[in-house]
Structure 1
Amino acid sequence: MRIILTILSLLSFSTHAQVLRQSTEKCISKVEQLSQKNKFDEGIKTIENAIANPKNTEDDLTQLYGYLGGLYINIDSVKLAREAIEKSLEFLPNAKSPVSKAVAFRFKSLLNSFFNLPDEVVKDAITGLQLIENQEGHLDLKYHLNYLLYATYSGWKDEDKMMQYIKECDKYAQQSGNPNYKANVDLGLSAIYLFRFRENNKVSDLDSNQFYLQKAYKTYQSHPTEVSGSTLVIMMINFANYLLEHSSESLTTRKVEAYKYLKIAETTLEEKRAPFKRWVNIYGIKSEFAMPEGDLETAENYLLEG
């Protein structure tokens, strides 16, 4: 198993532009709350109702369609996501605010990330950041654009760039005070140190991996309603994966501890507070624990479930 990057944290929604009508700002704020609870279908209905308002400006529509596309990405509705983001880009030329334009590029970048087009992801994310580099505030938008860059460079295993952009994310997470952002930054840092350990086999890097993973979990414990279920599930899977791959304890001890973390992840998934597809990671880890025990039938069943 490999550590999971918290790409789904990119889909936390927040209001961005002062030029938006008040009803649009309220709509996006509501969608943010729904997305935190993994209620993407309800978020889609909320956005669609807002789009139908005849008083919408180009700025309203640029952002609303962008967010709609992001919601569709969350539920893997690729065709609808593409259509919504293309609509956002149609309104972009007449939008007055550079922030609205940056929002459009954020979701265009996110769509390209979904299609595994990393060069386009970087191009669009940097364009978005350039549009708002002289704009005060908009911490959430700056955070998400930088996280897209971090995630893309992680795919290229460019640790210098990964560290550069996760530090930018950390800056905006600290300024915003958003616990979910903070937890995801620490998950990102833990991933960087795990990459380093796999390259250099330095125990200090593995210790740093665990330090930041524990730090993310402490953030969740302090703010359980403000850290998303998706982020929590990824933490638990990464803890279990550490026990599978790197702990020096006996197999039995490692399995007991790992299953405690996986149980938290399973409960969160059963409560529908995180994307269903995370079950694949859980069953994969359980399968890998079963194989060294010689229980190949159970291992196979877990893989089939996955």
Structure 2
Amino acid sequence: MAHCFSFASFPKLPKTAILFLFVTYFISNTLYAQKAKQDSLEQVLDKRNLSTGERILTLSRLATHHYFNDKREESNKLLDEASQLAEAMEDKQYLARILAIQAMHLCIQGDSTASTMLQSALDNLDENADPGTKGYIWYAKGWMESRNERRTEAVASFIEALRHYDGSSNINDLRVISSIYIELYSIYGHWKDLDNMEKYARLALDNARQSGNPDGLSSALYSLGYTFEDRFRGNNAQEEFRDSAEYYYKQSVSTFLEHEDHMTSRNQLSFNALGLANLYSEFYPLSYNDTAQRYLDIALKEGLKTEHYTVVTGVYGILNEYTQRENRWDDAEHYLNQAVAYQEKNPLPELETKIRLMEALAIVAEKKGDYGAALEYYKQYLTYYQQRFDNGKNGIRKGIGSKI
């Protein structure tokens, strides 16, 4: 999945990052801990007569919370403790869950042993396991398959997970169900299937509301916002699509701010705010500039705080677009250079974004009459373009080779 942003006019950057970044926030290096959630989990662990199974589950939830808040050492210690308790139990379903969590963590880190760990989780899952545990293991399987771009297999795994969760009213199960629907939304979004995008976004929203999970609620609202935005992009005559997109994006931001102390991922706020700002810049007149700026300020502040530089790049891209509309070429160049600088800080710089940034800088330089700079930007643009072309050829060759 590409992670780059679009500008409303001049050379457009692809919009797939605002599209799905909220789904992939799990791979961020810096997520800020929300103390209320951590405290509630620690209070459960302090309870007397807590069963071993419940202790294992709580340790795993706290470990996951720490992991996604850049506290991996603490997370690993908690998972090790949970694993030791689980291994001592005759009932291996708890061990299977811990192994699944560890597999997902390894997958995030790019560790090739992740698939082996997941297989161990499946091997420790017997027919008598709790349906919720079975559902979680199959969710983990689909989650990993999706991130390895095995989307058809991932859909099958997610459907199997939902089969095990069928009829559950357990709050923790409902939260996983909501996450599964968001994953399915993302996959169908990749396939440009708007009907299924809306279907799964609404199902995610329903389950997030039932579970009282603000993370899931904010994500589901965002995904509905994008679905309606994409519908409007395909049919500009239907302004109700645009207005629905604005409504759900606003709800996603306000939900985050309302439940700020209980959110797991701080950087989800920057994604949601940027999505709304981009909607204004792409589809609303300049009179909405001040409204867009309000959300750009949120996105920039949170993106810098969490060091999520893809978001910061997108903010400067949209600011550039506004200045270009007003023929403020010096400001446009400044914002594009800021976008380039923060794109380079990204641990995984996006080649497609680099291509579009160089193209935009070349055009701005031409508008300023600086043809020497424009030529240099075009040369860099061609270098990146050739690199993308070569990568594509190599990908085709690998695909052919894998079938021989």
CA separation of 1:95 and 1:280: change in aligned 2, threshold 3 A: farther
Tell me which of 274, 281, 290 is aligned to 1:244: 281
Counterpart position of 1:190: 225
Counterpart position of 2:360: none
Counterpart position of 2:310: 280
- Give the aligned residue type for 2:282: E
Counterpart position of 2:32: none
Cα displacement (A) at 1:288: 5.1
Maintained 8 Å contact 1:61/1:91 = yes
Unaligned runs of 5+ in 2: 1-5, 7-14, 28-36, 42-50, 344-404
Cα displacement (A) at 1:22: 2.6
Q: Per the alignment, in what secondary structure is the counterpart of residue 112 of structure 2?
A: helix
Maintained 8 Å contact 1:143/1:173 = yes
Matched, 1:102 2:117: no
Q: Per the alignment, in what secondary structure is the counterpart of residue 225 of structure 1?
A: helix
Counterpart position of 1:219: 255
Cα displacement (A) at 1:114: 0.7
CA separation of 1:181 and 1:144: change in aligned 2, threshold 3 A: same
Tell me which of 84, 99, 104 is aligned to 2:117: 84
CA separation of 1:157 and 1:266: change in aligned 2, threshold 3 A: same
Maintained 8 Å contact 1:244/1:258 = no
CA deviations over 1:206-255 (Å, ceiling 9, x no partner): 11111011111221222111233132121122133224323311697578
Tell me which of 257, 268, 271 is aligned to 1:231: 268
User: How large is the Cα RMSD of the aligned pairs?
Assistant: 3.2
- Give the aligned residue type for 1:246: F
Aligned length: 296
Cα displacement (A) at 1:110: 0.6
Matched, 1:154 2:169: no
Counterpart position of 2:364: none
Counterpart position of 2:92: 58
Give the TM-score of the pair, scaled to structure 1. Answer: 0.83
When structure 1 is superposed on structure 2, of 190-199 and 247-256 the one drifting more is 247-256
Tell me which of 209, 213, 219 is aligned to 2:245: 209
Rounded to whole Å, the distance in 1 between the matches of 2:195 and 2:176 is 22
Matched, 1:42 2:74: yes
Percent identical pairs in the alignment equals 17
Matched, 1:8 2:38: no
Cα displacement (A) at 1:185: 1.2
Counterpart position of 1:272: none
Give the TM-score of the pair, scaled to structure 2. Answer: 0.65
Tell me which of 135, 159, 162 is aligned to 1:129: 162
CA separation of 1:207 and 1:84: change in aligned 2, threshold 3 A: same
- Give the aligned residue type for 2:212: G
Cα displacement (A) at 1:8: 3.3
Counterpart position of 1:30: 62
Rounded to whole Å, the distance in 2 between the matches of 1:289 and 1:188 is 24
Maintained 8 Å contact 2:145/2:151 = yes
Counterpart mapping for 1:257-272 below 5 A? 257=294, 259-269=296-306
Could you say which structure has the larger radius of gyration?
2
Rounded to whole Å, the distance in 2 between the matches of 1:103 and 1:262 is 32
Cα displacement (A) at 1:261: 2.5
Cα displacement (A) at 1:102: 1.5
